Amino acid sequence: MDDDADELLRRALLDSDGSVAVALRVGGLALCDALTVVFHGRRDLGTIQTYVAHGGRGAGSALAPDELLRVPCDLDLAEAADRQDAEHLYASQARAMRDALLAADTVLAVWREPLEDLIGADVTIDRSIALSARLPAARLMPVALVAPERRMTVTPVCGARTLAEGRPPLGIACAQQDVVRVYPLPDDPQRCLEDFLDLTAVHARALAEQLDHQAASVRRFLELSD
């Protein structure tokens, strides 16, 4: 954790308006220049919510709502006995969030080459806050691999829990239209992608059979009026 994050924490704890934000810059990433984790706490919300934004933001930076990805891995400092203990818990939990981002970014970068090899097409990096793909779990970071020709999206996801429980459970979600599957982060990308492409092929065949069945039903119905 850098000195800027510690300074922001000091300022935040002295803030008297009941709403504070602490920023933590995360660098050394493979798929984007930097990310900033924003911990935002308000007394009326009862939680210290976690957001992730692009860029290395620091004190005084302004962020619009559409620049923030909500990540359901919140800080939990309730067990702190005093300010010093709270600072220790904050540092530990912020480190867990940083480590999760670094791990997910590294793994997603590894997935890119086998994905391109298997589909035989270029894969782009989508850094959008919002994705069109429907996912079964929350996104961890605003970075995804996208294969436009296959309408396929691959992105890190996480389980919802507080950072007091340590690094959140992570996975890589593969999505293609109505087919979605999440694979554990340590799994072999080649095996996961082969499994997912097999799954999408089975789904496509089942959908084609369903459409043929529906068309046959309509034809028979129309014949009744002949």
Report if residue 151 sits inside a domain.
yes
Per the structure, the count of domains in the chain is 1
- pLDDT tens digits along 181-194: 999 999 999 999 99
Q: Is residue 222 part of a domain?
A: no
More confident: 113 or 9: 113
User: Does any domain span residue 224?
Assistant: no
Q: Residues 56, 36: contact at Cβ < 8 Å?
A: yes
In a domain, 216, yes or no: no
pLDDT in tens, 128-147: 999 988 899 999 999 999 99
Specify the higher pLDDT residue, 19 or 168.
168
Q: Is the pLDDT of residue 99 over 50?
A: yes
Residue 172 lies inside a defined structural domain of this protein:
yes
With vertex at residue 2, the alpha carbon angle to CA 52 and CA 102, rounded to the nearest 5 degrees, is 45
Q: Is residue 207 part of a domain?
A: no
Residue 217 domain flag: no
Q: What is the mean pLDDT of the chain?
A: 86
Domain-located, residue 225:
no
Q: Given this model, what pLDDT does residue 98 score?
A: 96
Query: At residue 200, does pLDDT exceed 60?
Result: yes
Q: What is the domain range of residue 136? A: 3-202
AA letter at 98: R
